[in-house]
Amino acid sequence: MKDRDGEITILHVWSSFKGDYPLFNRIVHGLHQGYRHIVCYLTGPPAEEETLSREGYAVRWLPFDKKDLRNFTYRVVRELDLIIKTEEVDIIHAQRHKSVFYASLAARKNSRVRLVTTVHGLKRSRSLFRKIGNRILWPRINRIIAVSEAVKTDILLTNRWLPADLVEVVYNGIDLAAFAGNDLDKTTGRAFFGLPQQGWLWGAVGRLAPVKGHDVLLKAWAASGIGKRGGHLAIAGEGKLRAELTDLAQELGIAKEVSLVGHVADIPKFLAALDGFAMPSRHEGFPLAVLEALAAGLPVVASKVGGIPEILATLADKGQAFLVPAENEQELGGAMGQVMAWSESERNEAVAGIKEQARQFDGNRMIARMDCLYHELMMK
């Protein structure tokens, strides 16, 4: 039942705060009329860098820490139940497994509340323990949102009892305007990040973790001699593999051709500095980094895994992007070389096609679909 002058009250549940999530914030900002949003983190303490509370949104931090959540803590269920009842919550939207676990239990105590969860990646039901947990708790869920068809397929294959119509695909979307500012240009971007002003600049964005395949990218770079053709590689992101990747670049003799620029807060400025974008991941759900590269008008060479083909297949069919097998250094380097060999007219035609494809993932489409989904749930 709607409350407060017909508003739909949504309780967004996260297990912890790990930095602002622009995609989530965009949905909250976009769904303002007719909605009341309450964001709840199962663990504290409150983080100063959390922006929604500063903007006036209701943000709750439960009095627990990570140790409390390592084992089952029924007090978490009680706290959520209290919020649901006192705030007359209509829909709970839980993100990530631990939040879904506690939100499902709290929802069982409130039969009128609708429960939604979003699955962002592949292999989320990889363990027997997780499969058993899903079988027990997921029947209370009213809708599961998958961020790509690949993620939906993975969910249904690993939870074969689950009705297919319970899982709905809602593609991630981005703010296209953020990548089209007049202040974004190669010269400024390269100077800001300390990158070479001359030559072809390839880039990659993502945490420095095994799944992202940066080691494959470095090996492909060295084997294909891209640096000898005037190329330079800039990798944006931090992670546990930084030292290992630095050592690998040194061993491959390409250390001077590679820049690990660390965490980048201004992604549009970083992408504006580039000529091409590489995504050599071993698996992906539906990477925002690829959408952002398209919005910046960059040709993309990426692994043919997860939801990436859903983004790039149309462009790949026209030769305006390349999909290569994961962990295939030869094809990855070869595709990057083909992009570098484009004539000016070929590149201009490709950029036009790339920007047109980016419009398919306008964040406003995502917000409109979420609006419809929430209202559909309220009608059931």
pLDDT band at 210 (very low <50, low <70, confident <90, very high): very high
> pLDDT by residue (tens digit) across 14-65?
999 988 888 999 999 999 999 999 999 999 899 988 999 999 999 999 999 9
Query: Is residue 238 predicted with pLDDT exceeding 90?
Result: yes
User: Using CA atoms, how far apart are residues 171 and 190, in angstroms rounded to an integer?
Assistant: 31
Report yes or no on 1 lying in a domain. no
With respect to residue 305, please indicate whether it lies within any of the assigned structural domains.
yes
d(CA 310, CA 253): 35
| Dist. CA 166–CA 114, nearest whole Å | 13
Based on the fold, state whether residues 133 and 86 are members of the same structural domain: yes
* Mean pLDDT across the chain: 94
Alpha carbon 251 to its chain's center = 32
Residue-level pLDDT at 6: 80
Looking at the fold, whether 137 and 208 belong to one and the same domain comes out as no
**pLDDT, position 5:** 65
Q: Which residues contact 108 (CB under 8 A, 6 or more apart)?
A: 140
Query: How many Å is the Cα radius of gyration of the chain?
Result: 22
pLDDT (average), residues 123-136: 82
Q: Give the integer Cα–Cα distance in Å for 296 and 351.
A: 9
Q: Are 197 and 343 found together in one domain?
A: yes
215 and 343 in one domain?
yes
Count how many domains the chain has.
2
One DSSP character per residue, 218-240 reads HHHHHHHTTGGGTEEEEEE---T
pLDDT above 70 for 66: yes
**Residue 120, pLDDT above cutoff 60:** yes
Helix H or strand E encompassing 91: strand 91-95
What is the residue range of 154's domain? 8-173+363-378
Question: 250 and 109, same structural domain?
Answer: no
Domain match, 169 and 181 both: no
pLDDT-based confidence at 128, cuts 50/70/90? confident
Question: pLDDT of 131-185, one tens digit each?
Answer: 888 898 899 999 999 999 999 999 999 999 999 999 999 999 999 999 987 678 8
pLDDT recorded at residue 180 = 81
Q: What percentage of the chain has pLDDT greater than the value 70?
A: 98
Q: Which CATH number does the domain housing residue 337 bear?
A: 3.40.50.2000
Task: Read off φ and ψ for residue 350, nearest 5 degrees.
Answer: -65, -45
Whether 3 maps to a domain, the answer reads no
146 in the same domain as 220: no
Same domain for 294 and 236:
yes
Residue 77 belongs to some domain of the structure: yes
For residue 255, give the DSSP letter.
Answer: G
Of the candidates 131, 74, 132, the residue with the CA atom closest to the CA atom of residue 108: 74
| Residue 295 and residue 315 in one domain | yes
pLDDT by residue (tens digit) across 291-348?
A: 999 999 999 999 999 999 999 999 999 999 999 999 999 999 999 999 999 999 999 9
User: Would residue 191 count as lying in a domain?
Assistant: yes
- Same-domain pairing of 49 and 192: no
Cα 43 to Cα 14, 51, 63, 98, 198: the distances in Å are 9, 17, 6, 11, 48
Amino acid found at 329: E
Tell me how far CA of residue 150 lies from CA of 167, 169, 209, 237, 306, in angstroms.
Answer: 12, 9, 21, 25, 5
pLDDT recorded at residue 122:
81
- Classify residue 131: in a domain, yes or no: yes
* Average of per-residue pLDDT across 98-117: 95
How, if at all, do strands 200-205 and 231-236 pair? parallel
Whether residue 89 has pLDDT greater than 80 = yes
Residues 115 and 104: their CA atoms lie apart, in Å, by: 7
Q: Same structural domain for residues 250 and 300?
A: yes
Cα torsion angle, 99, 100, 105, 111, sign = positive
pLDDT of res. 329: 97
Instruction: Determine contact, residues 220/329, Cβ cutoff 8 Å.
Output: yes
Residues 154 and 251 in one domain: no
Cβ 175 vs Cβ 206: under 8 Å: no
Residue 110 domain flag:
yes
Is 278 within 8 Å of 301 (Cβ atoms)? Answer: yes
CB 105 within 8 Å of CB 78: no
- HSE of 164, CA atoms in CB hemisphere, 13 A: 3
Taking the C-alpha atoms of residue 281 and residue 325, their distance in angstroms, rounded to an integer, is 10
pLDDT in tens, 248-306: 999 999 999 999 999 999 999 999 999 999 999 999 999 999 999 999 999 999 999 99
Assigned domain for 2 exists: no
Structure tokens at 168: 């709905």
